[in-house]
Chains A and B, each alone.
Chain A
Amino acid sequence: MIHVFAFYLFASIVVASGAMTILARNPVHSVLWLILAFFNAAGLMLLLGAEFIAMLLILVYVGAVAVLFLFVVMMLNIDFARLRAGFARYLPFGLLIAAVLLAEIVLAIGVWSFGDLGPDTRMATIDPDVPNIEAIGRALYDRYLLVFEGAGIVLLVAMVGAIVLTQRERAGVRPQNIGKQIRRRPEDATRNTQPEVGEGVEL
């Protein structure tokens, strides 16, 4: 009973907040609705028994990606009038994408319910006694090790590339050199003098 209640709670909030994401007038509200949708999607995954994926969804999307997203959206000064002006222009394109997505969903559900893609006919069936994390770990680090490491290297290269592209040496800035500051001793920086009265000081 609690399962069913939780499912309908999470599912209805996911759908409602997904709708609010596109309907909200304020982009910051949109992002917040999106975060609520992520959160409840994680709840649905928990109900499916995929606790590792659920935690990663919150950790990666809600904890990091959406924070940066919110950060950017808050900083932008968005002109709503100009934003709506493009609505008619992008409408056909948007409808096309929506139709493609709908067709894909229908196809996927059709294959799922008529074909032999059920959970028990997959190549690597999951042993119910093995915890989620272990099952995923075995798949990633055993069976698909090479592909997984390749994906890791692609991400690393992308990260290095992003840093190289944005890094620039600016002339005229004096960055803090902490090692140099710590090495500095009072003897190097100060001196004691006994100036005569009326002579002034030598700087």
Chain B
Amino acid sequence: MEKNIALVLVLAPFFGFLFNVFFGKKAGKTLVGLVGTASVLVSFLSTLFFFSALNANPSQPVVVDLFQWISLEKFNVNFSFLLDQLSVLWLLFVTGIGTLIHLYSISYMHDDENMNKFFAYLNLFVFFMIMLVMGSNLVILFIGWEGVGLCSYLLIGFWYKNQDYNDAAKKAFIMNRIGDLGLLVGLFIVAYVFGSLDYKVISEGAYNTQLVSNNSGLIALAALCLFIGATGKSAQIPLYTWLPDAMAGPTPVSALIHAATMVTAGIFMVTRMHFLFDLAPQILDLIAIVGAATAVLAASIGLVQNDIKKVLAYSTVSQLGLMFLALGLGAYEIAVFHVITHAFFKACLFLGSGSVIHALHGEQDMRNMGGLRKVMPITFWTMMISTLAISGIFPLSGFWSKDEILLTAFHSNIPLWIVGSIASIMTAFYMFRLMYLTFFGEFRGTEEQKHHLHESPALITFPLIVLAILAAVGGLISLPGNSWLNHYLAPLFRKAHEAHHLDATAYALMAVATVGALIGIGIAYSKYIKKQEVPVQDAEMKGFASVLYHKYYVDEAYDVVVVTPLKKLSHFFRNYFEVAFSETVFAFGKIANAIGTQGKVLQNGSVGFYLLAFVIGMASILVYLFLV
């Protein structure tokens, strides 16, 4: 029974994929959308089954063992699934938000000739994401990990006639693969140390003090390698540059894959392996620092971007940074909490931006927007709620989760708290900048566009409304002092993490954070509402703003440091090494030829010469025999 439901959970999106690939063109767009959405909904409902089962019996996670997959000398890797608190929680929002975004896409992608392909890829993505989350060992996770990467590649480059989009897709895949190599090496170290890749076995090993103290160096190295993997998938320094480019994909993809689900895989993996990371405090410190640095770096770039999706992309990178900050502080539940609230409000924001882009027939530059509040009230209000949430305004979801992160940072390391707070202030600024430029003031687009302005249809606004509600109330799952989430996740962790109680410091910090957010909002208000500023054209940008606008020239730096040398090396190998090796081989041939030619001279037919050679030869042999 449980096994069958688990299989349905995994396979439903896969069947959706198969259907849309093989019958999608003939079935028509309505059926394509329906099957695509329903297959994810089935997974969601199956997840609910496991969720209620787990709630009834928290200490009994479901393990589904299917078959032996990879055999190695010391251990086997099985194809098996684990449905415990963590995976079920992740599945809930992956399939839940997934269903909403599929629904949204029915309308959003309706005019695309390859709508069936779109739904196929989206279904395939959900399938791999489920694998990633549900695997009971790191190698099944790795299937999902690389599989979602492939789907991400396919969906970023969905409009494959445009080679810029294809470049973005390729960049995403390759950047991710750099991380994947780290993850793979991490897997090898874990396998070597613990003799298994199964979560259960590893966790038992991690509590075996003898084993741990004998291998502390390797364990730290493994944690580092796994974290490198996470920096690729979850877009952290130094591998974050693919995510903003990934906005080339259709907007539902940005919402589902590049905001709510796939990019949280790194946080999932670190939480899954928390017992390993707990053994490597120095790596946890590194994670916290990288997370905080990414949060502030990406937020600062987000300050000046003019493409509505780019702002949201940098915001995502920044928010993921905050989650890693929490992980690095050992506050896994808090990171998970922020993953969930972020999934709600960021999915809503992306879908909202899609609604705007849709209304403007593909326009993404906020300099050509403005005044959309009146024509698109639902889009505006849902996005506004989510913007307030991400800015950390009481009592919306982002307030609670971000506050928890900052509070934890404050208690362990003040500089990290400052960096995180700065990132949060920036977030409030750029989000309100986005809202003001898009929805307030006068419309700055063409007359043509102005005529066609309209609110999006119900299939688009419905998911927006649901997500906005969740973004508003999502904080309820983990209120300070009374956290359902911490209680729910407790069986995962050996030592229960104490929920923060509302003491004076907590209130003070909340006040500081709220004031910070209000400052950010205030600056945005004075610039874009009071002074009615519109960001200048690209060419007129000056000073530090230009550096920010060009993303600190990191892409250019990577080009100079990695890409160009690699190309040059390839040229060099091809033009010199290959020729040299080849000529060496021919040289052997020439030597053989030359010896032959010389030999021909010796064979001149003169008997006298042969006799002379014979005598000399005999004499040499005799001399050798007697003298040596």
A and B interact? no
Q: Which residues of B contact A (CB under 8 A)?
A: none
Q: Which residues of A contact B (CB under 8 A)?
A: none
